[in-house]
Structure 1
Amino acid sequence: MATFQLSLTSPEKLLFEEQVDQVDLPGAEGDLGVLAGHAPIVALLRPGLVTASSGAERETFVVLGGIAEFSNEKLTILAEFASHIAEFDVAELQARIAEMEEGLAGMPVSEELDRAVARLDHFKSIEASLAAATAF
């Protein structure tokens, strides 16, 4: 299978830079997969999991938003926050979810409330995915 270069960077450091077969991304408009030969694309990322596959090996990262660009057989992900799934602090995520839920209680009906509920849903989705991944 053809490969391409993946570079995943957070503000703190370069987390991953290797040749991969496929990358699955949590796009703001829906999940998407990137393979070698993909058309050039720039996509906003929502909070979720990024999975990079190379043969039978898979690396999974938690991202809390960012941007991804694929061109010239290179996928560059600039994440607002990113962590390898094994190093991610689930307790901190749960505390953040609880804060978000409390914050929603007093918000008036508005577009801001809609965005806050959507963000909370993304965080809960990460929590559910992490629980499923660690159940094995």
Structure 2
Amino acid sequence: MAEAFNFELVSPERLLVSEDVESVLVPGAEGDMTVLANHAPLITTLKPGLLDVVYAGGREARYFVKGGFAEANPTGLTVLAETAINRDDLDAEKLNQAIQDAEEDVNDAEDPIKKDKLQLRLDYLRQVKTTLGL
């Protein structure tokens, strides 16, 4: 059994995780990395991707993260994510409907600024679907 360390996952909306974990796979901007206990100090930006967590005791969870920072040190890991969604909280049917609605909104938008904002939302939803394999 690997040594446990403190892990916190924070989004603008809430604190998603604050527990002891054995490892966390972080989608860093320079490449994915696995953080274990006693990791050397490190700060990295996040790329959109999956954050895989193995909790103390073996339970696993997967989160989609987009944007933000990760800070590792010998005592723990903190991830401040622009967006963080638990994989288990996503429903493929609802996500597909949201994509369809967003596509319609983009097609119907006449104001270029509004259309750009709607396109960003559509791109984000498609990225979530692709990354999570839904």
TM-score (norm 2): 0.70
Is 2:57 aligned against 1:53? no
1:127 maps onto 2:103 in alignment = no
Whole-Å separation in 1 of the counterparts to 2:71 and 2:78: 5
Aligned to 1:95: 99
Give the ranges of 4+ consecutive aligned residues of structure 1 lying more than 6 Å apart after TM superposition. Answer: none
Residue 77 of structure 1 deviates from its aligned partner by 0.4
Distance 1:74 1:128, change over 3 A: same
Change (3 A) 1:14 1:92: farther
Q: Which amino acid aligns with 1:84?
A: N
Structure 2: state its 5+ residue gaps: 107-122
Whether the 8 Å CA contact 1:9–1:16 is kept in 2: the answer is yes
> Percent identity over the alignment?
39
Q: TM-score, normalised by structure 1?
A: 0.69
- Residue 6 of structure 1 contacts residue 16 of structure 1 at CA under 8 Å; is this kept in 2? yes
CA RMSD of aligned residues (A): 2.8
Write the mapping of 1:76-115 to structure 2, written as runs, cut at 5 A.
Answer: 76-88=78-90, 91=95, 95=99
How many equivalent residue pairs? Answer: 111
Determine the C-alpha separation between the residues in 1 that align with 2:91 and 2:83: 12
- Larger Rg, first or second structure (1 or 2): 2
Distance 1:87 1:80 in 2: 17
Return the letter of the residue paired with 1:56.
G
Alignment match, 1:37: 38
